[in-house]
Amino acid sequence: MDHSMMNHSKPSQPDNGKTASNSKTEKTRILTGNEFALIAVESNQQLSTDVTLPVWTFNNSVPGPEIRVKQGETVKVRLTNRLPEPVTIHWHGIPVPNAMDGIPGVTQNAVQPGQSFTYEFKAEVPGTYWYHSHQDSVNQVDRGLYGAFIVEPKDADKVDRDYTLVLDEWMSSGIPETSNSTGMSEMSGMSGMGHDNMNRGDSENHAESNAAGNDNQPTGMGHNMSMYDLFTVNGKSGPLVDKLPVKQGDKVRIRLINAGYLSHQIHLHGHEFYIAAVDGQPINHPGVVKDNLVRIAPGERYDIEFKANHPGQWLIEDHGANKAVAGMKAVIAYEGADLGPDRPNETANLAAVDMDRYGQAGPSSFTLDQKYTLEYTMNLNTEMKMGGMVYTINGKTFPETEPLNVKKGDTVKVRLINRSMMDDHPMHLHGHFFQVLSKNGQPLQGAPLIKDTLNVRPGEEYIVAFRADNEGNWMFHCHDLHHASAGMVTEVKYTDYKTNFKADPKAGNMPE
Ligand code: C2O
Ligand code: CU
| pLDDT, tens only, 422-465 | 999 999 999 999 999 999 999 999 999 999 999 999 999 999 99
- Ligand 1 contact, 103 CB (< 6 A): no
Q: In the chain, what is the straight-line distance between the N-terminal and C-terminal CA atoms, in Å?
A: 34
User: Class of the 7-154 domain?
Assistant: mainly beta
Q: Is the peptide bond before 84 cis (omega within 30 degrees of 0)?
A: no
* pLDDT classification of 5: cutoffs 50, 70, 90: very low
User: Is the pLDDT assigned to residue 214 strictly greater than 90?
Assistant: no
> Which fold, 374-494?
Immunoglobulin-like (2.60.40)
Q: How far apart are CA 300 and CA 451, in angstroms?
A: 8
Q: What residue ranges do the domains of the chain occupy?
A: 7-154, 231-334, 374-494
Q: Among residues 295, 347, 139, which one has the least CA distance to residue 223?
A: 139
185 secondary structure, DSSP code: G
Poorest-pLDDT segment among 55-64, 156-165, 428-437: 156-165
CA dist 198 and 196 (Å) reads 6
Intrachain domains 7-154 and 231-334 with the same fold:
yes
Ligand 1 atom at shortest distance from the alpha carbon of 103 = 2
DSSP state, residue 130: E
Atom 1 of ligand 1, nearest CA residue = 92
Task: Say if ligand 1 is within 6 A of residue 271 CB.
Answer: no
Closest ligand 1 atom to the C-alpha of 453?
Answer: 1
> Beta partners for 43?
55
Residue 177 has a pLDDT of: 57
Query: Does residue 83 contact residue 172 with C-beta atoms inside 8 Å?
Result: no
Q: How many Å apart are CA 183 and CA 491, to the nearest integer?
A: 31
CA 365 vs CA 51, 385, 442, 450, 456: distances in Å? 48, 40, 18, 10, 22
DSSP 218-271: --SSS--GGG--EEEETTB-GGGSPPEEE-TT-EEEEEEEE-SSS-EEEEE-S-
- pLDDT tens by residue, 60-95: 999 999 999 999 999 999 999 999 999 999 999 999
Establish whether residue 483 lines the binding site of ligand 1, counting it when its CB lies within 6 angstroms of any ligand atom: no
Mean pLDDT of 46-61: 97
What residue ranges in 49-139 does DSSP mark as E strands? 51-58, 66-70, 74-81, 90-92, 116-122, 127-132
> CA-based Rg of the chain, rounded to a whole angstrom?
21
List, for residues 304-333, the tens digit of each pLDDT value.
999 999 998 899 999 988 899 999 999 999
Spatial distance between the Cα atoms of 108 and 119, rounded to a whole number of angstroms: 11
Options 2.60.40.420, 3.40.1350.10, 2.40.10.10, 2.30.110.10; CATH for 231-334 is 2.60.40.420
Q: How many Å lie between the centroid of ligand 1 and the Cα of residue 343?
A: 34
pTM value? 0.89
What does the alpha-carbon distance between residue 373 and residue 292 come to, in Å, rounded to a whole number?
39
Mean pLDDT value across the chain: 88
How many angstroms separate the alpha carbon of residue 479 from the centre of ligand 1? 6
